[in-house]
Amino acid sequence: MAGKSKDAERENKALSAILKGQDVEQRSMVGYTPEAEKNLGGKTRQSDLTDIMAEVRMPWFCPNCKKAMKKKLDDKFWRIEGHCFDCQVDFENKLRIDGKYETYARAKVLENQKAQLKDLEQSIDDFEKTGGKKSWYNNVGVNTPMLEEDKWEMGEKEFDKTIQEARDFIRSNKDKVEEAEKQLTGVK
């Protein structure tokens, strides 16, 4: 039979033997050294990344409602909120019924604005480290390819002005976000 590997044939033979209640050929792994694992005391091996990956990987079932998480939105809301999309809909519906949704939504928007301002500030810091100078290489030539260096330089006054304007913009928007946060929480 074309397209069948020896492993597939061996697996099919083993499965049919198991179904019939017969003994199955025992297989051994090559290159396995059990001496290294004798000191584990019956525990299984774990990589350094096992715990980290367990936290990141989306579980099969939602921890809140115990439903299977198989939608694309479940993956998104698992990463953001720690539960499935249906649980998020239920949570937001309860907030709407209690009249607390507007406050929740405004708080979410303010959190996003603060994160965006933080990212912008970090990018300004990175830009400031360049000193307003940048060089990159272009591949030119068809028959004999060569690298050509392009240099870009911003004037020192223009560079300082741009950095200052960006920092002023960030500062003023941070003040606006903090003021909106104070209004939202009722703190004066």
C-alpha count within 13 angstroms, C-beta hemisphere, residue 185: 10
In this prediction the pTM is: 0.58
The mean pLDDT of the chain is 83
The two structure tokens encoding residue 8: 């597939």
Task: Find out whether 156 and 164 touch, Cβ atoms under 8 Å.
Answer: no
DSSP string for 12-36:
HHHHHHHHHT--------TT--GGG
Counting residues of the chain whose pLDDT is more than 90, the rounded percentage is: 28
Token representation of residue 169:
């913009």
37, 45 Cβ separation under 8 angstroms: yes
pLDDT over 90 (residue 185) = no
* For the ranges 34-43, 65-74, 91-100, 122-131, the one whose mean pLDDT is highest: 91-100
Q: Which region among 39-43, 78-82, 88-92, 153-157 has the lowest average model confidence (pLDDT)?
A: 39-43
- In this prediction, residue 48 carries a pLDDT of 75
For residue 98, the model assigns a pLDDT of 93
Tokens of 77: 């809301």
In this structure, what token pair is assigned to residue 140? 């030119």
pLDDT at residue 182 in the model: 86
Amino acid of residue 27: R
**Best CA proximity match to 135, nearest among 120, 148, 121, 119:** 148
- Across the chain, how many H-helices and E-strands are there? 6, 2
Amino acid at site 7? D
Residue with the two structure tokens 């406050």: 103
> Of 27-36, 135-144, 154-163, which gets the smallest average pLDDT?
27-36
- Tens digits of per-residue pLDDT, 55-94? 777 788 888 898 888 888 888 888 888 889 999 999 999 9
**Tell me, what's the pLDDT at 28?**
58
Q: How far apart are CA 177 and CA 188, in angstroms?
A: 14
Q: What is the DSSP letter of 153?
A: E
| Nearest CA-CA partner of 60 in 52, 70, 51 | 70
Report which of residues 28 and 129 the model is more confident about.
129
Where do we find the tokens 């690298």? 147
